[in-house]
A and B are shown apart, each in its own frame.
Chain A
Amino acid sequence: MKISDTVVGAGFVTAGALIIAGTLNYPTLAAGHPGPSLFPRILGGLMAVFGGLVSVQGLRNRDTTEDVEWLLLYKNTAFINAMFVLVGVLAYILLVEKLGFLVMGALLLFVIMWRLKVSPVKALIVAVVFNTIVHFLFAKIMRVPLPMGILWW
């Protein structure tokens, strides 16, 4: 997802301004010396300046390269695959406590492998075996409290 430097720079200018805005109500030290707000304000200011410079550079180089065809994204395999990963991890965060790691982890692995065109049988076997190994390694050997969910192991 390459978007033009002009837009990227403008984004950083906005972010810098938001950071400074966020510090406006911060308390000051005794004798009015700046305290918690000092460092973030310097950062926000520099971010806006650097972002502005990147924007100007983008304009000067007439950098309008946008290799993202926004309207055709739904046909872009790489984008859809990436969305599968993102939505998959989100679903994992939301559901793993209910379903447990053994189920949810294997499910996530299976769905992504299937999406990446691994044959369903192979994907299922790899997902279950690999996920069980990860569970054993982390939950049993390293004692990480991975959620049990509906399975008890």
Chain B
Amino acid sequence: MIDHIWTALVMLSSWKLMLTITICSIYGLFVGAVPGLTATMAAALLVPFTFFMDPLPALVSIVTMEAMAIFAGDIPAALVRIPGTPSSAAYTDDSYELTKQGKAELVLGVDVVTSAIGGLMGAVVLMTSAPLLAEVALMFTSFEYFWLAALGLSATVMIASTSPLKAGLALLVGLFFSTVGLDITLGYPRFTFGSTELLNGVDFIPAMIGLFGVSEILRNMGSSHLQYPITAVKAEKIFSGVAKTLWKYKLNMVRAGGIGVFIGILPGAGADIAAWIAYAVSKRFSKEPELYGKGAIEPIVDAGTANNACLAGDWVPALVFGIPGDSITAIVIGVLFMKGLRPGPMIFQQQPELIYAVYISFIIANILMVPFGYLAIKLSGTILKVPRNILMPAILMFCIVGSFAINNSFFDVGVMLVMGILGYFFENNGIPVAPIVLGMVLGPIVEQNFMVSMIKSDWDLTQFFTRPAAAILAVLTILTWLAPFLPALARRFRSGAAAA
């Protein structure tokens, strides 16, 4: 193991990688701090660049970027009451209320330190749990993979922050896109409408760029002249009082870190949901729940830790099973495939140095977060003043060229455009777009493993339940479906018991 860590460290210490880490940190901080640009969009736009990198810098760049972006989302939340990314939405009101009370420095200081601590907690769990799970995963067959993917699909719908029905519809749309092209059993072309470009299916990266980039540009078209009333921050004061606050809420941080990583490991639920759940749990156990939403620092500690802890957790199922923990790791899986690497337990044996490099880059990114975060806070006034009527067209250009660069195909630019319109329409009608991505990634896994299992067992459905590991995963999946009804069932059971 020491060998692998050493190899990874040597690889990471090249000046090229240091430069990559620095550039991606700045990129992540900028994207996170500008409202309307999300970490997922940033990851999708990074893909064309990773195309020209080796696997190691490609993964490192995504890790660094996402860690920085999820923290930087806190900056506009505190200063202008608009979360920079959805992951900061849960505690935006509290942050802004504190800013109005003149405590902007404390909020931002707590934001940056809890982000770093949460990120490090996530990294530790990733490092310890992923290799163990990979051992287990070696025993998995198509039956288990089918259930894992089904569990991912179910979790996406059931833990969605909006209506599960609408999240389900988005997921079905994504799954449908995954069926386009030659089918697995007979090689029969499905939904290609005679187009040769569609025989290989809808390419995932242009679709992502459309769903998360173009749709966001369309949404920003109405508010291009928006000027934010910016609160000036004394960056040099941000760390005063942070240690005292964090010491007071040290147990909150441990709890929130645990929640964050757990939500991360669950396939399909990302940092935004981790923050909401950590917020809710924090309020439930707080001594002063009446202050929540009106300027409490406690939920900021909780949710701020949880969303960054979640990020490393998201990598666990992605690396171990090839099942994305959130939409960013869905992109990571896409990148690995482009590099000819198949995420799964074998990668832990064949390219351990790559896995160790991911671990170490999580640690580096979260340590760098404090000085880089300080700089981002210092420059926040300037970042928030970037004129959107120039920024949005510039991002559109990156979207177009990025979509084209994947296959050098204008068809993909068309895919990007259609997905952009779809994403815009969906979001405006309360239908989340992240499940579309998960559907596109998980669709082939579900279908292939189901068909292979069925053919293997000569259409004997009981095989899906008789293998022990498959049975456990099946029960977990079914429990996820029942989750919304469990509180009602428990109530009925309790009242029934009381009546008896």
The A-B contact count (CB < 8 A) is 158
Segment with Cβ contacts to A, from B105-113, B171-179, B335-343: B171-179
Central interface residue in A44, A112, A127, A145, by most chain B CB within 10 Å: A112
CB within 8 Å for A85 and B459 given contacts A2-B429, A118-B389: no
A118: B residues at CB distance < 8 A: 387, 389-390
Interface residues in A54-102 (C-beta closer than 8 Å to B): 54, 57, 77-78, 81-82, 84-86, 89-90, 92-93, 96-97, 101
Tell me if A134 counts as interface (CB < 8 A to partner B): yes
How distant is A98 from chain B, measured CB to nearest CB, in Å? 12
The residue of chain A having its C-beta at the shortest distance from the C-beta of B401 within the complex is A138
The reply to whether the CB of B330 lies closer than 8 angstroms to some CB of chain A is no
The distance from the CB of B426 to the nearest CB of chain A, in whole angstroms, is: 9
Does A54 contact B166, Cβ atoms closer than 8 Å?
A: yes
Can you list, as one digit per residue, whether each of B152-193 has a CB less than 8 Å from chain A (1) or not (0)?
A: 000000000001011011001101100100010110101100
Given contacts A35-B188, A50-B165, A131-B397, contact A8 B429 (CB under 8 A): yes
Docked-complex contact A1 and B428, CB < 8 angstroms:
yes
CA distance A86 to B166 in the complex (A): 26
Q: Is the CB of B185 within 8 A of A29?
A: yes
B284 within 8 A of A: no
Task: Say whether B413 contacts A36, CB under 8 Å.
Answer: no
Known: A26-B190, A85-B221, A108-B397. A93 touches B165 (CB 8 A): no
Contact present for B221 and A78 (CB under 8 Å): yes
Scan B442-454; emit 1 where CB is below 8 A from any A CB, else 0. 0100110011001
Q: Name the A residues within 8 Å of B421 (CB-CB).
A: 86
Whether A120 sits at the interface, judged by CB under 8 Å, is no
Residues B356-403 near A (CB distance < 8 A): 387, 389-390, 392-394, 396-398, 400-401
Say yes or no: A50 contacts B168, CB within 8 Å: yes
Q: Which residues of B are found within 8 Å of A38, using beta-carbon distances?
A: 451
B408 within 8 A of A: yes
Residue in contact with B176 in the complex, picked from A40, A84, A138, CB distance below 8 Å? A40
Nearest CB on A from B156, distance (A): 14
Indicate which residue in A27, A46, A54, A90 contacts B188 across the interface (CB closer than 8 Å): A27
Residue of B nearest to A52 (CB): B165
Residue among A82, A127, A142 making CB contact with B218, cutoff 8 Å: A82
How far, in angstroms, from A33 to B51 measured CA to CA in the complex?
41
- Whether B224 contacts A92 by the Cβ 8 Å rule is no
- Alpha-carbon distance between A5 and B223 when the two chains are bound, in angstroms: 25
Interface string of B29-41 (1 = CB under 8 A from A): 0000000000000
User: What class of interface size applies to chain B in its complex with A?
Assistant: 35 or more
Whether A3 contacts B397 by the Cβ 8 Å rule is no
**Chain A residues closer than 8 Å to B413, beta-carbon distance:** 89, 92-93
> Are B397 and A85 touching (Cβ within 8 A)?
no
Task: Identify the closest chain A residue to B408 (Cβ).
Answer: A145
For residue B348, which residues in chain A have a CB less than 8 angstroms away from its CB? none
CA distance A113 to B396 in the complex (A): 11
Chain B positions 404 through 423: 1 when the CB is less than 8 Å from some CB of chain A, otherwise 0: 11001010011011000100
Q: Is the CB of A144 within 8 A of B401?
A: yes
Interchain CA distance A108-B394 in the complex, whole Å: 10
Distance from B135 Cβ to chain A, minimum over Cβ atoms (Å): 31
A113 contacts B389, CB within 8 Å?
yes
Instruction: Count how many chain A residues have C-beta atoms less than 8 Å from C-beta atoms of the other chain.
Output: 60
Mask for B256-280, Cβ within 8 A of A = 1, else 0?
0000000000000000000000000
A93 engages B414 (CB within 8 Å):
yes
Cβ contacts under 8 Å, A22 to chain B: 190-191
Task: Assess the B191–A43 pair: CB atoms within 8 A.
Answer: no
Contacts of B163 in A (CB 8 A): 54
**Closest chain B residue, CB of each to CB of A2:** B428
Structural contact, B417 and A50, CB atoms closer than 8 A: no
Q: Which of A2, A5, A81, A118 has the most CB of B within 10 A?
A: A81
Known interface pairs A118-B390, A126-B390. Does A36 touch B417 (Cβ–Cβ under 8 Å)?
A: no
Across the two chains, which residue of chain A brings its CB closest to B448? Answer: A39
Question: Is B225 an interface position by the 8 A CB rule?
Answer: yes
In the complex, what residues of A have CB within 8 A of residue B405's CB?
138, 142, 144
Distance of A22 Cα from B410 Cα, bound (Å): 26
B-side contacts of A19, CB under 8 Å: 176, 191
A43 touches B172 (CB 8 A): yes
Among A29, A43, A117, which residue has its beta carbon within 8 angstroms of that of B179?
Answer: A43
A86 to B413, CA, bound (A): 12
**Quick check: is B52 within 8 A (CB to CB) of the other chain?**
yes
- A39 to B389 CA separation, bound complex (whole angstroms): 44
On whether the beta carbons of A134 and B393 are closer than 8 Å, the reply is no
Judging by beta carbons under 8 Å apart, are A142 and B188 in contact? no
Cα distance A108–B165 in the bound complex, in angstroms: 39
| 23 A-B pairs in the complex with CB atoms less than 8 angstroms apart | A1-B425, A19-B176, A35-B451, A36-B185, A39-B446, A39-B447, A40-B190, A44-B176, A50-B168, A78-B223, A82-B218, A85-B396, A86-B421, A93-B414, A116-B224, A116-B392, A134-B397, A138-B48, A138-B401, A142-B51, A142-B405, A144-B48, A145-B408
Report A's interface with B, CB cutoff 8 A: 1-3, 5, 8, 12, 19, 22-23, 26-27, 29, 33, 35-36, 38-40, 43-44, 46-47, 50-51, 53-54, 57, 77-78, 81-82, 84-86, 89-90, 92-93, 96-97, 101, 105, 108-109, 112-113, 116-118, 126-127, 130-131, 134, 138, 142-146
Q: 8 new A-B pairs (CB below 8 Å) besides A44-B176, A144-B408?
A: A8-B431, A29-B185, A36-B190, A85-B214, A116-B224, A116-B225, A142-B405, A144-B404
